Structure 1
Amino acid sequence: MKNKIVIYDFDGTLTPYSVPKIELMDKIGCTAQEYEEKMKAWLALNPTKDVFDAYYITFLNVLKEYGYPLTDETFAMGGNLNDYNPGVIEYFEDIKNLTKNYLVSSGFKVPLQHSGVAKYFDEIYGTVFSYDENKTATGIAYAMNDRRKVDKIKEICALNHLDDLNLENVIYIGDGLTDAYAMSFVKEHGGLPIFVYQPHENLDAFNELKNKGIVDHAFVADYSRDTDLYNTILEFLHK
């Protein structure tokens, strides 16, 4: 069995909600609707920026508004409270000696590092804050987005001494159109992109990606033993 690498998106891929659920916002009383309104207001004032920028900056602005210190201790709050798709923990236990696992998410790196699945990843990539000398966040040092996920896949290949033009031993698992660049890159170079979805969701996003030749496989995001998703990944890892 050759060395294999599995790369995961987070929200919607490992969790049951495709839109990031920020437990810290629930704790301080900022609802999802309020957060979205603040994002739209910020974008109206910054029309050259995109929704990723709005999401990240709004996070810091809300914390300041509610009087929370912009420190890693604050950012980590609630990071361990995520819900996961069925079978996720058992799945990681089953494969932890079969492959290297990497998380590439547009979410914030600090709470991801405190999540209940963090210990299963060889490295976690996400959006990173910039800090002053007092370890207080001053802004965003690196904003992960859909295009930059490809850069991280190349970085992961370099770490593992793999040619990023030959990804036959790489799986990428994602749940939406924001994974299109990553999935396309992996498939184009011989790897296996897998689309996962929630049972109640339609397959419009998958069909769009499939019609573009980006991904062929779609499974319900159930990692339990003997599901189609579990068996497909295990078969790949044992090749």
Structure 2
Amino acid sequence: MTTNIGLIFDFDDTLAPDSTTQLLEQHGISPEEFWFTEFQSRVREGYDPTVAYLSLLLEKVGEDQPLGELTIEDLEAFGTDLTETLYPGVPGLFDDINAIADEYEDITIDYYILSEGLEPIIQGTEIAERCEAVYASQLDANAEGIIQHIQRPISFTDKTRYLYEINKGITPAEARENPYEVNTQVAPEERRTPFENMIYIGDGITDIPCFSLVKDRGGRVFGVIDSDDEGAEGSAKQRAIRDIGSPRRAGNLNKPMYGESGRLGSLLRLTIEGVCTDRTIDELEAL
């Protein structure tokens, strides 16, 4: 019987510096003004944080607006350029993990990205094609192709829904056809990726519910912090979110160094080796 191991990554401030901030900077918009003034003000008015930042972005789209007549294709092209800003060792990590799994029989590694960020940007990066699915916030365009509406926001609590979709083996296409499919009862032995076979990697700001769910059900979690000092302030987005009440709470915080010599990269490779070994031993003992 095949064992599926799921590696699930947040994207912003986990695999790359915050992509929304980079988009703002490219168009001459101050990230500090966006996150600390506009975003925080909207959240305090009662907006969901994800809806707050997405609606602010949409207000900056248009002929006379700083983001211009932005299209989905523009965001994907921006994501292609963003590949250069991926944290050290990210592309090679996938190959190394696949090589480890290939040493064992009936072990499959599935990769996922689960992010509040913009899906077209993430889809434009080279790592998206390595993933079974990318779950991220979506925007809709008008008849002229200019983005105009929020189609699907993914907040920090929404993320847990997609963990259950991964757990039950529900594909994004199936979920689009029936958004309530995730509520269908599935026997434990029929679930594609058991929670104990999940490894979740996130920055610890918007990933707390996912950390808790995966860890409580026997999976493994890794927190990421892009700083030499775990007490450092972090990105403008992270600081703005903490300002409105969200803690950075994740055990095992690591710098985003995904190469073999980086602590996080080394830990992930060792963890995959351990999971593969454990599952193989379990199957042998069951014979």
SS in 1 for 2:54: helix
Structure exhibiting the larger radius of gyration computed from Cα positions: 2
Match of 2:52 in 1: 54
Determine helix, strand or coil for the equivalent of 1:79: helix
Q: Does the Cα contact within 8 Å between 1:146 and 1:179 map onto a contact in 2? A: yes
Partner of 2:168: 158
Q: Which residue of 2 aligns with 1:27?
A: 26
How many Å apart are 1:75 and its aligned residue? 2.4
Can you list the C-alpha shifts for 1:131-174, whole angstroms capped at 9, x where unaligned?
Answer: 4455443311211111011011111112275277x411110001
Deviation of residue 129 (structure 1)?
Answer: 1.4
How far off is 1:67 after superposition? Answer: 6.7
CA gap of 1:203–1:4, structure 2 versus 1, over 3 A, is farther
1:128 aligns with 2:127: no
Percent identity over the alignment is: 23
Tell me if structure 1 keeps the 8 A contact 2:8–2:201: yes
Flag the structure with higher helix content.
Answer: 2
Aligned length: 228
Q: Helix, strand or coil for the counterpart of 1:183?
A: helix
2:217 aligned partner, one-letter code: H
Residue 212 of structure 1 is matched in structure 2 by: none
Q: Specify which of 246, 266, 277 is matched with residue 231 of structure 1.
A: 266
User: 1:200: Cα distance to partner?
Assistant: 2.6
Partners of 1:163 and 1:101 lie apart in 2 by 13
Moved more, 76-85 or 180-189: 76-85
Counterparts of 2:260 and 2:38, CA distance in 1: 42
Gapped runs of 5+ residues in structure 1? 210-214
Aligned-pair Cα RMSD in Å: 2.8
- Distance in 2 of aligned mates of 1:38 and 1:199: 26
2:179 matched residue in structure 1: none
Q: For residue 106 of structure 1, what is the aligned residue in structure 2?
A: 116
- State whether structure 2 residue 87 is matched by structure 1 residue 85: yes
Deviations 1:96-129 (A, max 9, x none): 4641110001000011100132222111110011
